[in-house]
Structures are given as structure tokens and as C-alpha cells.
């Protein structure tokens, strides 16, 4: 993580965001950079929505890399609760502590007579049992504790239960966590929070209100080519243009699971391995399972491979 | 500066985007950060702050262009003094030095540019400086002849603010607001001058009159353009929302082809609302009953000391719906809408089986799932729709061939008018189905007054249905489906 060599000093403009992200290989769009820029200055979380595989999670990772902040990731799932997200008490350690207490208690109250006096004496000691020492921080609390700043990624928030959203509100709006036994723990440096959602369910208004909204869609051909080029630098321009054009056509077909950028990249790597320098129908057919993940989709596209490849090749030939 | 933004937010709200106060505050902060200089940046920034879903983003895209394109023709404030000091005998040039005070109060020219609200600011400033002469009117003739688009736009914005053009809701209000604007501009005076010029009955007078007429029509044209632009921003979406409301209560049977297209987004929205309403977790805690096995398991790490106590939970049923639709002539249109809603609810109701019948029952799940909705519907109507309706046969088929689809979790949703062509209603079989299913809900597009009349067997079926409701509008459909989903907690 020493690629930039510069201490991160904040984003001065949306263009700085783009440049920073580009330096770690993330090709950003203007709207992505703007959202990050605003989030950074307004201290608001970003809620990213969009189809799977368009680089939502990757944005968080790249941001943490480019800002040189640690990335704290919390994967959401059904049944996720505060003991997994916020904090947990270290039960084992607490147990041990009680054991020790049991043995040492005679020393402590040895000379006191009567119950009242013993209690008074005990009250003089701190309540160690519920203190920071026995607190096991989970990602959200951990993010509050990062002195140098951090990027907090709350991944696939739509997978969690609605109750969990309510739990997040305090963290998202005030950057603090309240532990009843201890009090409120405020963030040393507010983390840059990124939430992602695949829209499997509608998120609550309270959550949405606290976030900036960013929708990332499938990229256009030009952007997709740039992304693939940055990830698979060895690919020839000819093949790159063809395969991106092909993917763009496939996305217009009547299929269930559209190929995403990650699939385009995988496909580019596959074709590179096979020493292809141009698309041909046979090779496309054989590697279709890289970009399509459903049997029905493969069957659907398979029947049209010839036609699609011809279309791509003729389009490529024209401008040349 | 905030004025422009608050007006824009108001426009967004009228268009149906739920912009809360927090978001409005964020928008102001974002604006302070990015400024008005870079239009694209401003647009994206406001999108990130104000639009909280894809639909709202589309809305924002459209409105932003409308709203701020108008704003862009606005000059740096320029002209407070014009409107303040210039009365009709004065020329524009000598009003300028007497007004340093007004200029300052108008403030920051660098920020003031490109904002339509500056017109309003000018307007209010004018009220305050009332002692300069009550609401001194512009020299309209001079203004119209000068061909100075900037000054014209300025005057229009001020008059528009005073005439409350932003309150416009319907296209039919355009002429009214144009008139109000002309009044606010002081066109009356122009008219008087015109009359006077005509009364002179000299060649010079006629020439002046012609110039005045020309000026008046220029003003009119500009006012009209202004009002129409404001209607695009504030009125169109409001009147569209109104139309949609009307649509909700229109009988589905009476909808035209173009109405159908309009219905689709409405239905999608309604389905979303229903899904959101019923999205609550269907887990109910059975308080007081310890789940011993899971408690032990969870606390194994604590030497079996039960720090974490786990209670037993009850899971509520997931909705399971079997829809049986009569697709014979009269009911077919309603079927289209019911299925449209049900399939829009697919996310929520994963367990959905659809059967259609006229003379015999056909399983149409495959068509609906593999084809685009309209194509599937056309195919179904073509293949199933032309037989004489036989409810008895349909229920018999359902219970014989698709017996396994109905169990105690299933809601059977029947859409039909119950007109059985005097055939055998197969009451015994219907009774069996009703006994087996969780609920049987019958939706009838006919008005209750005609239930049971003629060949309708509806009243015979009625005692075995959990509910039998009249369902002819989208609002009815919404209620009915709400009811279906409610049973699943």
C-alpha cells in the first residue's frame, strides 16, 4: 500500500477521487467520484445499489487502498445481530475473572465483619466485570476505534433483517456506539461508510435518509473496455473491443442473470489463456459458461452466438 | 442561494419524490461544497443527496434539466435598479447611480448568477423600497423593443414570482397565469397608452400604436413561454399524480389501450408498496419457551453457563397462492391486471401457481414465467380464452389434476363472474377445495347488484368462500391482495 507514496490528506475535488481510485486500478465514473467526494466532506455514508458484480464492494476496497485506511468489512446475512456486528462480552474471560474473584474474595473482605461491611468494601472496587477490558469489538465498534480513520464496508445490507437496520442508525448518523453497561463510545475519526445492496428487498426510509444514494449500473462499452484493460493489461485491443461489444449485446438478450463486469474480466482472462486474438463462434460457445451462470441463459444465447459474433465483427470492421 | 434550491426541492416533492428536511439540509451543504459553477457536478451531487432510489433519480434527472436550464438563461442579477428606479418617464441609463444601497442588499453577484430565485429576491427588494413610488412599473415598451433577452427574462421571473406561477397545476391554467403575469408586469398601462395613441388619430399616433401592439405581443409571448416552462417543472407531475389517482378508481373494464400503458407504472408502484408493507419478518417469538438444545449449543463456549438464552420461535407461513382465473370474454381484462400485480409481487409471493380456464383448466405458469408479460397474456387469451365458461369443470380439473398444489397454507384466489352458462357448478368439489385450503377468496368484477342474476352461480359458491368481494378497480385489487397477504402475517 505504498503506491502513492503520499499521506492521504483528504479529497480536494471529485477529480482527485477519480485520480486516487485510478492509481489503485479502479476506473471510476463521474457520479461515483462525486458521491465519494460528498460523502467524505459531508460525513455521510454512501448507500450503493446496483446489480451484482458491477464493483460495489470493490469500490470500498479500492477506496481503503487509495486512502491507505484499513478496511473493516461486515458481511450481512439473515439473523445478523448486535453481538456479531457491534460488540460482545468476552464471556470466557469474565468467567475466569469470577473464578479468581471467588478465590481472592477472602483477602479482600477478610477482616470485615457482617454482610453490610463486606458490601461496602466491595463497592470500593471498580466494576471491572463490565468494562472495556471484557468488551470484544465487532466490525462496527472496531471502526469507531480506528484512530487513523477507516473505511467501513457494510456489505449486502438487504440480506439482513429489518431490525438490524435500526441498529445501524446510531452508527450511521452519529458515528457512535452505545454500550448500556459502559456508555457511548464515539468514533475517534469518523469512518467512511459504504453500504451495498442488491435490492432484494426495499430498505427502510430511515436508513436511506441517512445515506447518500449511488446507483451503479452496468458500464457502457467505453468504460467497460477501460476497466477490462486495467485489470487484464495483456489483452490485445482488437480482442478487447470485440469481447466488450459482445457482452454489451448479450446484456440486451432475454436472459435472467446478466453478465457483470467481473464476468467480463474473467472471460477476458480465459480468452487470453486460450491465445485468442479475435472472437470466433466456436470459442465463444465453449467459453459461454464463463459469462453466463444459468443453464437456460446459456441455451438462449448459444442459439444466437453465430449471429451475435457476426454482428460484432461487422461493427468492428466498419470504423476500421 | 438557498431559495433556488428550496424551490427545486419543492418541485421534486410535487413530482412525488419524498425529500425530507434532512435531505434538504444535506442538499444545501452539498451545494456549498460544489457551487453552481459546474453544472454536471451539481447535478450529480444533488442526485446523490436527494434521490434515494432509481425512480427518484430519473425524476431528478428530468426536473434538474427543466429547472436549471431555465435558470441558466438568467443573468447575473444585474437589474435591481431597473425595476426599482425606472418609471416610465425615466430611461434606463440614469437610474443607475442612485441605487448603491439596493445593489448591496442584492448581494454576492458571483453566487447570484444562474438562479431563478434571484427574480424573487428582486421582487421582495422592490416591495421594501416602496417609498420610491408605489411599485414602479417597468417601461414595457422600451423593454420589449430593446430585444435584451436578459432583462426580459429578469422581468418575467419577477412578475412570475409575484403572480405565483409556481402554483400552477394543470395545463388549462396556463392562460390564466399568463394574464396574471401581464397584470403584474403592468400591461394595463400599456393598454392605456395604446388607447391614447389610437385616439390621437394621427399618423404618428398610429405608428406608436402599432409599436405598442407589437410590444404587447412580445411580452405575451415571453410570459407564455415562462408559464409553460414553470408548468413543466411544477405542474406536469402534479397533474400526472392526479391522473394516476383517478386511474386507481377507474373500472378496469373501461380502460383503453393507452390507459393500459399508463397503468403499468402505477401497478408496479402499488406492488412495491404492498411488498414493503408485508415485508416484516414472519418470525414470531414464542416468549417463555426455552429452546434448550440451541441454548446449550450457543453456550458451549462458556462452559455451559447459559449467558445467552435462546427462546423458541414460531415461523409464520410464507404466502402460497393458487390463482384460478376465468379468461372468457367479459372477465379477461381484469385477469390481465390481477396477474400483472401478482407477478409484480413475485419477490414477495414466491409460491404462486396460476391456472386459467374457460371451458377447461390450463396451467399457465410456464408461459408467464418464460415470456414477457404481454406476450404471455396474449398467448393465454388466444389459447384458453375461447370456450364457453364452465366453472364446474374448472374446479373438477383443479381438484383432480392439481390436487397437490392446494394444502392448508394455500390461499385460493378466484377471479371470475361466476356465470356458468347454467352448467353444473360442481358444488361438492368446490366445497372440498375450500375445506382443504387456508382461505378461498373470490374476486368478482361484476357489481354486487347483479350477483346471482341470470346464469350466475356466484351466490351458490358464496357460503364456501372466506370472502367474496367486488373487484373492478386497481384500488379494489390492492385491497384484495392486501387482505390475502395479511393472512400470512
Write out the E strands in chain A: 46-49, 71-75, 87-89, 135-137, 151-155, 176-179, 183-186, 192-197, 212-215
- Does a structural domain hold residue B270? no
**Count of C-beta atoms within a 10 Å radius of residue B53:** 18
Shared domain check, B325 and B305: no
Task: Give the H or E element holding residue B54.
Answer: helix B54-72
CB distance B33–A41 less than 8 Å?
Answer: yes
Of B189 and A17, the structure prediction assigns the larger pLDDT to A17
Find the residue in A nearest to B345 (Cα).
A201
pLDDT recorded at residue A319: 56
B336-B337-B338-B344 Cα dihedral, nearest 10 degrees: 110
Contact A34 B53 (CB under 8 A): no
Q: Strands (DSSP E) along A170-270, which ranges?
A: 176-179, 183-186, 192-197, 212-215
**Shared-domain flag, residues B362 and B386:** yes
Q: Please enumerate in sequence order all residues whose Cβ is within 8 A of that of A81, keeping only pairs 6 or more positions apart, or say none.
A: A164, A167
Q: Is B5:B28 a contact under the CB 8 Å cutoff?
A: yes
Contact A150, A62 (CB under 8 A): no
Q: Does B54 touch chain A if contact means CB atoms closer than 8 Å?
A: yes
Structure confidence at residue B347 (pLDDT): 67
pLDDT at A265: 92
Single residue among B72, B105, B127 that ends a domain in this structure? B72
Contacts across the A-B interface (CB distance below 8 Å): 77
A chain contacts of residue B52, beta-carbon cutoff 8 Å: 205, 208-209, 211, 213
* B197 and B217 part of one domain: yes
Is pLDDT at B21 greater than 60 in this prediction? yes
B347 touches chain A (CB under 8 A): yes
For residue B99, pLDDT over 60 is answered with no
Any A CB within 8 A of B268 CB: no
Q: Do residue B30 and residue A202 have CB atoms under 8 angstroms apart?
A: no
A163 reaches B (C-beta below 8 A): yes
Nearest to B378 by CA among B332, B326, B346: B332
B228 touches chain A (CB under 8 A): no
Residue B391 has pLDDT above 80, yes or no: yes
Distances from the Cα of B385 to the Cαs of B326, B412, B423, in angstroms? 8, 21, 18
Q: Which of B109-123, B258-272, B455-469 has the lowest mean pLDDT?
A: B109-123
Last residue of a domain, one of B72, B93, B113: B72
Q: Rounded to whole angstroms, how far apart are CA atoms B229 and B63?
A: 11
Strand pairing report for B320-326 and B283-290: unpaired
Q: Which domain holds residue B58?
A: 2-72
- Plot region of B452 (φ>0 → left; ψ -120 to 50 → alpha; else → beta): left
pLDDT (average), residues B483-489: 78
Closest CA of chain B from A120, distance in Å: 27
H or E stretch covering B312: strand B311-315
pLDDT reading at B102 higher than 50: no
Question: What's the domain count of chain B?
Answer: 4
Kindly give, in sequence order, each residue whose CB lies less than 8 Å from that of residue B293, ignoring residues fewer than 6 positions away.
none
Among A14, A42, A201, select the one facing B26 at the smallest CB separation.
A42
Is position B371 within any domain? yes
Least CB–CB distance from B302: residue in A34, A95, A162: A95
Q: Residue B26 falls within a domain, yes or no?
A: yes
* Residues 6+ positions from A113 with CB-CB distance below 8 Å: none
The beta-carbon neighbor of B279 closest among A41, A201, A209 is A201
Test mutation, A12, A35, A38, A93, chain B, max B CBs within 10 A:
A38
Q: What is the pLDDT of residue B280?
A: 60
Are B240 and B290 contained in the same domain?
A: no
Is A18 in CB contact (< 8 Å) with chain B? no
CB A112 within 8 A of CB A190: no
For residues B50 and B55, the model is more confident at: B50
Burial B2-14 (b: 16+ CB within 10 A, else e): eebbebbbebbeb
Residue A233 distance to chain B (closest CA, Å): 31
- Whole-number Å distance between alpha carbons of A278 and A292: 20
The per-residue pLDDT for B271 is: 81
Q: Is residue B268 part of a domain?
A: no
Same domain, B228 and B340: no
Residues in A touching B41 (Cβ below 8 Å): 14, 30, 34
Prediction pTM value: 0.67
Nearest to B154 by CA among B76, B253, B87, B45: B76
The CATH number of whichever domain residue B371 belongs to comes to 3.40.50.410
Residue spans of the domains in chain A: they are: 14-84+138-215, 87-133, 221-317
Cβ of residue B45 closer than 8 Å to a chain A Cβ: yes
> Is the pLDDT confidence value at B125 over 80?
no
pLDDT tens digits for A120-164? 777 766 666 777 888 888 889 999 888 888 999 999 998 888 788
Give me the pLDDT at residue B118, please: 39
What number is the average pLDDT over the span B17-45? 87
Query: Mean pLDDT over all residues of chain B?
Result: 76
In a domain, B112, yes or no: yes
Residues in B touching A215 (Cβ below 8 Å):
54, 57
According to CATH, the topology of domain A14-84+138-215 is Rossmann fold (3.40.50)
The Cα A291–Cα A282 span in angstroms is 15
Give the C-alpha separation, A189 to A70, whole Å: 12
Over residues B300-346, the pLDDT tens digits come to 777 777 877 888 776 666 778 888 888 887 788 788 888 888 887 77
B253 vs A83, residue with greater confidence:
A83
Domain finish residue from B198, B231, B247: B247
Pairing of strands A46-49, A212-215: parallel
Is B435 within a domain?
yes
Q: What percent of chain B has pLDDT over 90?
A: 0
B114 & B233 share domain? yes
pLDDT attached to residue B134:
37
For chain A, 320 residues long, give each residue's pLDDT as a single digit of tens.
334 444 566 788 888 899 999 888 888 899 999 999 999 999 999 999 988 888 889 999 999 999 889 999 999 988 788 888 888 888 788 888 888 877 877 777 777 677 787 777 777 666 667 778 888 888 899 998 888 889 999 999 988 887 888 888 888 888 998 888 888 889 988 999 999 998 777 788 888 888 999 999 899 889 999 999 888 888 888 889 998 999 998 888 878 788 999 899 999 999 989 888 888 888 888 898 888 888 888 888 888 888 888 888 888 776 54
In B, minimum Cα distance to A35 occurs at: B48
Inform me whether the C-beta atom of residue A157 falls under 8 Å from chain B C-beta atoms: no
Residue B398 lies in a domain: yes
Residue B67's CB: how many other CB atoms inside 10 A?
Answer: 21
The answer to whether residue A256 neighbours chain B at the CB level (below 8 Å) is: no
Same structural domain, B364 and B401: yes
**Interface check B18 vs A, CB under 8 A:** yes
Residue B139 placed within a domain? yes
Amino acid at each position: 500500500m505504498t503506491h502513492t507514496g503520499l499521506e492521504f490528506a483528504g479529497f480536494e475535488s471529485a477529480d482527485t477521487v477519480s485520480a486516487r481510485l485510478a492509481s489503485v486500478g479502479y476506473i471510476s465514473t463521474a457520479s461515483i467520484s462525486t458521491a465519494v467526494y460528498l460523502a467524505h466532506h459531508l460525513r455521510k455514508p454512501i448507500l450503493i445499489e446496483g446489480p451484482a458484480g458491477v464493483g460495489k464492494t470493490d469500490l470500498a476496497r479500492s477506496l481503503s487502498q487509495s486512502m491507505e485506511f484499513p478496511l473493516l468489512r461486515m458481511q450481512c446475512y439473515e439473523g445478523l445481530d448486535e453481538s456479531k456486528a457491534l460488540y460482545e462480552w468476552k464471556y470466557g474471560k469474565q468467567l475466569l475473572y469470577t473464578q479468581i474473584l471467588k478465590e481472592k474474595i477472602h483477602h479482600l473482605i477478610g477482616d470485615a465483619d457482617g454482610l453490610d461491611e463486606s458490601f461496602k468494601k466491595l463497592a470500593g472496587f471498580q466494576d471491572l466485570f463490565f468494562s472495556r477490558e471484557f468488551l470484544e469489538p465487532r466490525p462496527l465498534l472496531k471502526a469507531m476505534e480506528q484512530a487513523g480513520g477507516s473505511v467501513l464496508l457494510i456489505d449486502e445490507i438487504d440480506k439482513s433483517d429489518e431490525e438490524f437496520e435500526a441498529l445501524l442508525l446510531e452508527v450511521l448518523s452519529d458515528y457512535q456506539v452505545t454500550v448500556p453497561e459502559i456508555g457511548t463510545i464515539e468514533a475517534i475519526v469518523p469512518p467512511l461508510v459504504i453500504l451495498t445492496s442488491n435490492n432484494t428487498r426495499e430498505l427502510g426510509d430511515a436508513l436511506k435518509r441517512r445515506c447518500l444514494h449511488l446507483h451503479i449500473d452496468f458500464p457502457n462499452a467505453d468504460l467497460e473496455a477501460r476497466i477490462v484493460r486495467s485489470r487484464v493489461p495483456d489483452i490485445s485491443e482488437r480482442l478487447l473491443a470485440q469481447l466488450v461489444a459482445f457482452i454489451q449485446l448479450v446484456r440486451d438478450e432475454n436472459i435472467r442473470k446478466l453478465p457483470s463486469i467481473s464476468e467480463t474480466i474473467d472471460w477476458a482472462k480465459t480468452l487470453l489463456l486460450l491465445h485468442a486474438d479475435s472472437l470466433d463462434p466456436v470459442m465463444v460457445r465453449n467459453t459461454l459458461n464463463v459469462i453466463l451462470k444459468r443453464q437456460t441463459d446459456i441455451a438462449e444465447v448459444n442459439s444466437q452466438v453465430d449471429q451475435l459474433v457476426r454482428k460484432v465483427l461487422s461493427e468492428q470492421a466498419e470504423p476500421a | 442561494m438557498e431559495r433556488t434550491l428550496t424551490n427545486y426541492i419543492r418541485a421534486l416533492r410535487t413530482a412525488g419524490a419524498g425529500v425530507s428536511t434532512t435531505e434538504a439540509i444535506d442538499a444545501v451543504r452539498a451545494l456549498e461544497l460544489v457551487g453552481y459553477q459546474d453544472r454536471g457536478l451539481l447535478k450529480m451531487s444533488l442526485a446523490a443527496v436527494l434521490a434515494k432510489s432509481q425512480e427518484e433519480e430519473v425524476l431528478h434527472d428530468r426536473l434538474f434539466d427543466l429547472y436549471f436550464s431555465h435558470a441558466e438563461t438568467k443573468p447575473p442579477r444585474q437589474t435591481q435598479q431597473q425595476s426599482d428606479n425606472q418609471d416610465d418617464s425615466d430611461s434606463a441609463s440614469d437610474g443607475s447611480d442612485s441605487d448603491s444601497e439596493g445593489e448591496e442588499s442584492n448581494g454576492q453577484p458571483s453566487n447570484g448568477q444562474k438562479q431563478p430565485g434571484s427574480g424573487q429576491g428582486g421582487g421582495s427588494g422592490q416591495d421594501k423600497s416602496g417609498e420610491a413610488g408605489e411599485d414602479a412599473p417597468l417601461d414595457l415598451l422600451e423593454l420589449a423593443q430593446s430585444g435584451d433577452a436578459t432583462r426580459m427574462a429578469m422581468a418575467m421571473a419577477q412578475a412570475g414570482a409575484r403572480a405565483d406561477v409556481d402554483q400552477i397545476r394543470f395545463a388549462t391554467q396556463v392562460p390564466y397565469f399568463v394574464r396574471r403575469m401581464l397584470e403584474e408586469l403592468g400591461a394595463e398601462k400599456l393598454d392605456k397608452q395604446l388607447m391614447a395613441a389610437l385616439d390621437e388619430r394621427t399618423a404618428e399616433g398610429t405608428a406608436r400604436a402599432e409599436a405598442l401592439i407589437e410590444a404587447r405581443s412580445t411580452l405575451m409571448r415571453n410570459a407564455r413561454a415562462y408559464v409553460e416552462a414553470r408548468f413543466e417543472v411544477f405542474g406536469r407531475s402534479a397533474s400526472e399524480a392526479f391522473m394516476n389517482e383517478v386511474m386507481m378508481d377507474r373500472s378496469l373494464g373501461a380502460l383503453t389501450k393507452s390507459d393500459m400503458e399508463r397503468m403499468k407504472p402505477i401497478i408496479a408502484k402499488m406492488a412495491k408498496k404492498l411488498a414493503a408493507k408485508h415485508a416484516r419478518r414472519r418470525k414470531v417469538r414464542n416468549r417463555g419457551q426455552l429452546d434448550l438444545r440451541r441454548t446449550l449449543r450457543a453456550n458451549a463456549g462458556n462452559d455451559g453457563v447459559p449467558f445467552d438464552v435462546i427462546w423458541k420461535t414460531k415461523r409464520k407461513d410464507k404466502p402460497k397462492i393458487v390463482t384460478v382465473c376465468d379468461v372468457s370474454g367479459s372477465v379477461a381484462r381484469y385477469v390481465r391486471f390481477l396477474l400483472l400485480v401478482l407477478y409484480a409481487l413475485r419477490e414477495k409471493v414466491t409460491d404462486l401457481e396460476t391456472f386459467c380456464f374457460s371451458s377447461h383448466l390450463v396451467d399457465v405458469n410456464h408461459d408467464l414465467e418464460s415470456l414477457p408479460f404481454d406476450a404471455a397474456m396474449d398467448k393465454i387469451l388466444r389459447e384458453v380464452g375461447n370456450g364457453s365458461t364452465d366453472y364446474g369443470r374448472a374446479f373438477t380439473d383443479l381438484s383432480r389434476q392439481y390436487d397437490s398444489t392446494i394444502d392448508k397454507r394455500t390461499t385460493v384466489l378466484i377471479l371470475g363472474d361466476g356465470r356458468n352458462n347454467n352448467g353444473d357448478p360442481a358444488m361438492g368439489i368446490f366445497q372440498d377445495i375450500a375445506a382443504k385450503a387456508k382461505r378461498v377468496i373470490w374476486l368478482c368484477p361484476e357489481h354486487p347488484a347483479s350477483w346471482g342474476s341470470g346464469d350466475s352461480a356466484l351466490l351458490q359458491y358464496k357460503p364456501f368462500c372466506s370472502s367474496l368481494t367486488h373487484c373492478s378497480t386497481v384500488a379494489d385489487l390492492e385491497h384484495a391482495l392486501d387482505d390475502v397477504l395479511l393472512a400470512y402475517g
